[in-house]
Amino acid sequence: LIDAVCKDGNDNLSTSADIEKVKSINKAKAIDMSTLSPEDEKIVAPYRKMKKILPVGPLRHKMMSDGIDSRLIDAFFGVENSDKENNGAPGRPSLTKKPSRSRGLLNLHWTPLSPTSAEQSFWGKTPAKKKAVEDSDVAKLEQLFSRKKNEKPKGANTSKALVSSKKTKTAQILDSNRAQNITITLTSFNKVFESHDDLINTLADLDPNKRICGDNIQFMKSLLPKPEEKKALQSFRGNRDHLLPSEQFLLRLVGVTRIDAKIGIIETMGNFAEITSRLSANYELLARVCKQIMSSEKLHAVLDTVLTIGNIMNEGTRAGGASGFKLESLMKLTETKSTDGKMTVLDYIVMTFVAKDKREDLSISEEFPDGLEVSRMMISEMVAEVRVTEGKLRKCEAELTAIRNEKEGPPKDTRSTLLGASTERVKMKNADNSASDPRSAMLRAIAAKRDTSGDADDGESTSSSFRSSSRSLEKSCKSPGTSRLERFVEDSNAVMSNLKKAQAKALDSCKKAAVFFGEKKGEQSAVSVIEVLTKFASTVEHAVKKHDARIEREKRQAASALKKSKKNRRISETGAIQLRRRRSFKRSNSRSPLSKESSRRSPLRSASIRAIANLNKLDAMCRTELQSGSEKSISDNAVPTLGNRMERSIRKMDLNR
């Protein structure tokens, strides 16, 4: 039924009689393939083998997608010149004519309709019209779109084109993006490894020369196939040469025994020393800081002062009379301010220590300088990291045991084998001598028993020598990667033991520090205690700087006030001297017989007045400098100027006289 539908597109078949009828019609309509031209034979030749394997429908779709003419496809499947095609739309030519010879033009890539679909479309239902393209247009088309002489048609028009399309490799197992990412990642190993096989062999032998390091370890983990990819790779049975290089690499990688575990072991061997050294340093630092905060006398002195001041301020309340306080309360010392709002409780404590010459006790941060670094640690994460690192080390031990089991094979009891052989030999001797006389037989039996015991001793010596030789042979047959793993496991067990000792010591110090400062959460609260004390030490230092700045500001203000007062006193004294001079001058003028009008008009009197004024000014300046006690003399320009004025005034007085 499927073949019939694919051949004629008949959707109304329901009975076996209809199917037989269709088959007979198709058989009658089939044409002889020998009538195809040699050029057409070359086109359809690659699809003859496909016709034996593929169903008709997929093969027809394949030929249509490759650009084969629909009429040639129908001729290939034997439906050319059918009665159905002759019963098309009136006045319209058949849609499935035998393909004419190629014009040598470039192909127009489209998907042709099947004959049935074409007849049901508007091309089959509308009558034929006048030619839409004239001969001149065709000539122009051939001129513009003619194929070059050396250019071959695209698609599957020839067998060579089909072969070239087969050579184009596409991802068959992996997703195209995944295959491309693997290819890009593999390029980072090109400088270290000669080929992909070299990389895979190195991974299989646990990287004995330490060629995979740094970021390449993480890149290697990203190359591991996912479960669904691994399943698809293991079930692949096709030709590997048709796969992409990334797919071929993963296919060989999957074949390595326990490849996931080996890549993890390579990563562990590369990072183990760095991780353990860092964790050991962190645990030692944690234990040291815990001891420092418990033995700091400066810190204890400040905390005792805070407790005393707090009990005084809380006297008569429920919070008063306390024997201690939680360290988180230290940060509230900066929140309680004085009545005028200019000072906090912490500022007052700092002022008290400075006034008592105990400034050094405020340098708390010097007692535990690494407190800030420890305050950023997470004890739970550190403990978990130690546990994970130990688990990775145990995986390395398990892999070493698995490798040894693979090389040794099932255990054999060599001693039992040797004893069985010697016993069999004694039995054979006894059987050979059973025909002799009884006395000689008894003597031979005794001798044989002695020989048996000797053989047993020889067997034990032989077994011991065999074991020693097997061990030496095993040692000589070890791969470099296995030897590296053995050394790593042996050395790392000692390192892990020291790390766990440092961890136990640090956790014990944390518990003691938590109890010492009144915390109840055990070692987990030690880091929070150190964090609070570190912040408090920083706040105390800031308060000390604030106190020093306030003292300097007050000193500057006092000096400025003193200087201003001295200046005001000098001004007042100078004004008093000038006032006395002015009064004395007025008294001298009142005794003069000259009238105000004559004195006002007399040039001699005006010159005298100016001369006296200049003398008074010079006298006032000298007195001011002497009273201030300054060593600075009067400016060089002031005295000559006043002297010149007095000389001119006296000269005018003489002339007037």
Q: Which of 100-114, 276-290, 351-365, 371-385 has the lowest mean pLDDT?
A: 100-114
Given a cut of 70, whether residue 271 has pLDDT beyond it is: yes
CA distances, 554 to each of 478, 557, 558, 565 (Å):
83, 5, 6, 17
Tokens of 155: 């698609």
- Band the pLDDT of 4: cuts 50, 70, 90: low
Residue 112 is classified by DSSP as: P
**pLDDT given at position 519:** 84
Given a cut of 50, whether residue 391 has pLDDT beyond it is: yes
C-beta neighbour count of 649 within 10 angstroms: 20
- Band the pLDDT of 147: cuts 50, 70, 90: low
CA distance 623 to 178: 100
Given a cut of 80, whether residue 541 has pLDDT beyond it is: yes
CA distance 515 to 525: 10
Rounded to 5°, the CA angle 628-631-632 comes to: 95
**pLDDT given at position 638:** 54
Q: Which of 100-104, 167-171, 345-349 has the lowest mean pLDDT?
A: 167-171
pTM for the whole structure:
0.53
Element (H, E) at 433: none
pLDDT in tens, 478-512: 788 899 999 999 999 999 999 999 999 999 999 99
CA distance 289 to 368: 6
Residue 158 is classified by DSSP as: S
